[in-house]
Amino acid sequence: MLFNSFSFAAFLPIVFILYWVLGKERLRSQNILLLGASYFFYACWDWRFMFLLIFSTLLDYFTGLKMMESKNNRAKKFWFWLSISINLGFLGVFKYYNFFADSFADAIANFGLQVNPWTLKVILPVGISFYTFHGLSYVIDIYKNRISAEKNFIDYSLFVSFFPLLVAGPIERATHLLPQIKKERSFDYSRAIDGLRQILWGLFKKIVIADQCANYANMIFNHSGEYSGSTLLLGAILFAFQIYGDFSGYSDIALGTARLFGIELLRNFAYPYFSRDIAEFWRRWHISLSTWFRDYLYIPLGGSKGGTWAKVRNTFIIFLVSGFWHGANWTFIIWGLLNALYIMPSIIFNTNRSNLDTVAQGKTFPSLKELAAIILTFGLTVFAWIFFRANSVQHAFNIISTIGSESFFIIPQILPIKLFLLLALFILIEWNGRMEQYAIAKFALSWPKPVRWGIYYGLVLVIFFFAGAEQQFIYFQF
Amino acid sequence: MKKFVKYIAIFLFPIILLGVFFEVLIRKIPNDYEYKKNYLDHHAKEVNILFLGSSHVYYGIDPKYIKSSFNASYISQSFDYDLEILKKYKDQWTNLKYIVIPVDYFSFYGRLENSPEAWRAKNYRIYYDINTDHKIFNGTEMLSNKFDINLSRLLNHYVRGENDISCSNLGWGSSYKAINHKDLMISGATAAARHTAKDNLQYSTNLHLLDEIIAFAEHKHIKVVLFTSPAYKSYVSHLSKNQLNTTLSTIKKLNTTHSTVKYFNLLQDSSFREQDFYDGDHLNEFGAKKLSLKMNVLLGKI
């Protein structure tokens, strides 16, 4: 069931009404209802993978309890490593086995030996990277004595499987979500309206921006050999907007949906394309994953302690793992390493925290220096996205070499003027709302209701106008 | 909570009202599915030869050259819909002698619901009263079609006075004109790639459906004529040998095990030349005339 489907448009109101009417002031009933709805939501993709999700939940729930009950460190360590290895084992088998098998065969082939690797014909269970990371953060936090194990199985299961975040995040933390699940929740009108507004904006970003950009980006990337350098660059830029609209749109719908149930999820995007350097970009892009890697990998590796070279090493490891997390393909690994290279100067010269505020705070326009920094950062990001989107490393290099050729200076073969206008409007709205959690959070709130509603109707109309075949969200494959 | 529900209801009311209004208006636009259903409602008893199947027949067989025949095929119509059409008029096929169905390169490997044309499934439910899939939203025009397409259909019919009927009075799709032909080399290769299956998950289901069609026909003492449609060389040369051979051997088996089944392979029939094709795998009006006359002769020889 996709967020941008009519099935979800029917599912959400039913769960919402049951939740607030039947589950009124009965926390346990609300949580059971949400858990049932979440499992139904997940089963709509493939009910067989429900068993994997439930097994993963049971594993972390019991190992969490066992760690808490352990009288000595050795026993605690045993349960901890049991959970970690099984979690990563599943991730490895479903997501990475074929990659390693094929890469091994390719490497052997370089020495003149031919082997036919035994590859698994399995489908990647949707959301496995996300719910595995949920579970991992939970057991690590217990092991490090940051939290106590959750005794209520329903509450813990809901923390792992809450349907707005189940398949593509945000990657939640037990310290943030579990207390909300355990706390009485009462209906708040303005919060619910805010949630709906965020869902509306998320749908706009997904259906109007991402899916329209996808039409052109797919055409250009899938037939890259037929296009000029300027067209290929345009394709890469459109892909940059596609992936942003797609993933941040998804996150907005997830956050808005959770808010309808009185639950606040972690923010995942904060206008990353207005960043002035790559360090700022990574503080604003897929925030829940970046902070996960920071807290559970970068800091345990030593973080910023231990001098510049330790920082450089740890940063490379983080970006390498981040690339690998996205998928079992060398293109993602190179994308990760490129970002590591981009961020290196600020790590070495200790300037990675120089842009902590929002750009042009309190001003209407950025300064020329800020604008140049934003364009440079966006350009670097677009270059890295070429690897992310390409089918193979060779494909990416072919695209880059065509961009670098003379054909860069001819007018692009594809000029989607209507889409350019839409993108310009989108950038303006995002710029205007950059201080808020999402771009239209405060937009027109002080205006008369008929005008405000007119704007919402306009958004609904545009969404319906552009809505076509339901497009999968890019991050579902991760 | 009451305030929230009240405001949401007020906000959604005009959208729902407009949606229902558009739905009613769109359903009133005459279209091919409705036309074919109405024709069969009134004339099924008079039909001697019934053509079923997908676009290859829809654009390739003009029943005006074949006495007492009707073309009930349509774009991407798969065996499951062919069977449902037969079942729907099961008591009315009193004069039906032949059921003609194309078994093409892709016929065993896909179904309408799994194809890019899946949005057409709603037409069978709304206009034919045939319900092979159970997706709730396939019961409405507004929710199963793109909004801009619906909007242009409304404008075309209610403002410009056009309708959606593109078939002849005997069900032939007449819109693939020679004058508008596509590049045969490119379109042939593209269609072959599109028709080459990634897996054979649908194979056994489709074979079972074709078996059911044959059993239905045998029960009614109706002959089943299977044929593989003519295609341009650019299409044929890009076909997967494995998929094509599997399809042909399956038909051969059906042909030998059922005395009521006849098969004609016209895939590379040399009488169809470049000027007969609209694109790599569809005939134009000249090709359709040629195929229809040929089919008339072949049926006469059975």
Chain A residues with beta carbon closer than 8 angstroms to that of B14:
457
- C-alpha torsion sign, points A251, A257, A260, A261: negative
Residue A127 pLDDT level (bands cut at 50, 70, 90): confident
Distance from CA of B302 to the nearest CA of A (A): 45
The residue extents of the domains of chain A are: 6-187, 190-276+355-477
Across the interface, which of A10, A453, A468 has its CB nearest the CB of B146?
Answer: A468
**What's the mean pLDDT in A308-336?**
89
- Asked if pLDDT for residue A112 goes beyond 80, the answer is no
Residue A391 burial (CB count, 10 A): 12
| Calpha distance A234→A220 (Å, rounded) | 9
**Residue B45 pLDDT grade (very low, low, confident, very high; cuts 50, 70, 90):** very high
Q: Does the pLDDT value for residue B12 go beyond 70?
A: yes
User: pLDDT value at position A120?
Assistant: 53
Average pLDDT for B266-275: 94
Active-site residue, A326 included? yes
Q: What's the whole-number average pLDDT of chain A?
A: 89
Question: With an 8 Å Cβ cutoff, is A6 touching chain B?
Answer: yes
Parallel/antiparallel/unpaired status of strands B98-102 and B223-228: parallel
Give the closest-approach CA distance of A87 to chain B in angstroms.
31
pLDDT digits (tens, 9 = 90+) for B107-159: 999 999 888 888 888 999 999 888 876 666 677 888 888 888 888 899 999 99
A20 contacts B1? CB cut-off 8 A: yes
Distance from CA of B288 to the nearest CA of A (A): 32
Helices (H) and strands (E) in chain A — how many of each? 20, 0
Asked if B4 lies within 8 A of A7 by C-beta distance, the reply is: no
| φ, ψ for residue A447, nearest 5 deg | -80, 160
Comparing A10 with A237, which gets the higher pLDDT?
A: A237
Residue A465, judged by CB atoms within 10 A of its CB (0-12, 13-18, 19+), counts as middle
Which residues have C-beta within 8 Å of that of residue A162, sequence separation ≥ 6? A34, A38, A172, A177, A181, A258, A263
List the single best residue of B4, B119, B142, B150 to mutate versus A (max A Cβ within 10 A). Answer: B4
- Average pLDDT in the B63-90 region? 95
**Better-scored residue on pLDDT, B133 or B273:** B273
* pLDDT at B113 (0 to 100): 86
Instruction: Tell me the sheet residues that pair with B226.
Output: B101, B263
Residues of chain A with pLDDT > 90, as a percent, come to 63
Strands (E), B114-269: 223-228, 261-265
Which residues lie closer than 8 Å to A376 by C-beta, 6 or more apart? Answer: none
Say which residues have a Cβ less than 8 Å from residue A478's Cβ, sequence separation at least 6. A129, A130, A168, A325, A326, A327
Choose the mutation target among A191, A464, A465 for the interface with B, i.e. most B CBs under 10 Å: A464
Size of interface A-B (CB pairs under 8 A): 33
Where do the domains of chain B lie? 2-301
CA distance B1 to chain A (A): 7
Kindly state the average pLDDT of the residues A63-77: 92
User: A355 falls in which pLDDT band (50, 70, 90)?
Assistant: confident
SS (H, E, C) A284-321: HCCHHHHHHHHHHHHCCCCCCCCHHHHHHHHHHHHHHH
A417, burial (CB in 10 Å: exposed 0-12, middle 13-18, buried 19+): exposed
Using omega within 30 degrees of 0 as the cis cutoff, is the peptide bond preceding B30 cis? no
CB B195 within 8 A of CB B105: yes
Average pLDDT for residues A97-113, to the nearest whole number? 70
Residues A458, A477: Cα–Cα separation, whole Å: 32
B282: its two tokens: 């569809």
Active-site annotation holder among A134, A176, A286, A326: A326
Q: Flag the least confident range among A19-33, A173-187, B52-66, B155-169.
A: A19-33
- Whether A456 contacts chain B with CB within 8 A: yes
Residues 6+ apart with CB under 8 A from A1: A7, A8, A11, A41, A44, A45
Residue B290's CB is within 10 A of a number of other CB atoms, namely 20
> Any CB–CB contact under 8 A between A460 and chain B?
yes
- B137 to chain A: which residues are within 8 Å by CB? 6-7
Dist. CA B211–CA B255, nearest whole Å: 11
Q: What are the backbone angles phi and psi of residue A26, rounded to the nearest 5°?
A: -130, 90
How high is the mean pLDDT of chain B? 92
CB contact under 8 A, A187 and B4: yes
Fold assignment, B2-301: Rossmann fold (3.40.50)
Say yes or no to pLDDT of A477 above 70. Answer: no
What sign has the CA pseudo-torsion A99, A101, A102, A106? positive
What does the angle CA B8 – CA B12 – CA B15 come to, to the nearest 5 degrees? 170
What are the residues whose beta carbons fall under 8 Å from the beta carbon of A319, sequence distance 6 or more?
A336, A337, A339, A340, A343
Range with the poorest average pLDDT among A133-142, A324-333, B152-161: A324-333
Nearest to A277 by CA among A358, A382, A354: A354
Of B119, B143, B148, the CB nearest to A465: B148
- When computed from its CA atoms, the radius of gyration of chain A, rounded to whole angstroms, is 23
Cα-based torsion angle of the residue sequence A200, A202, A207, A210 in order, rounded to the nearest 10 degrees: 160
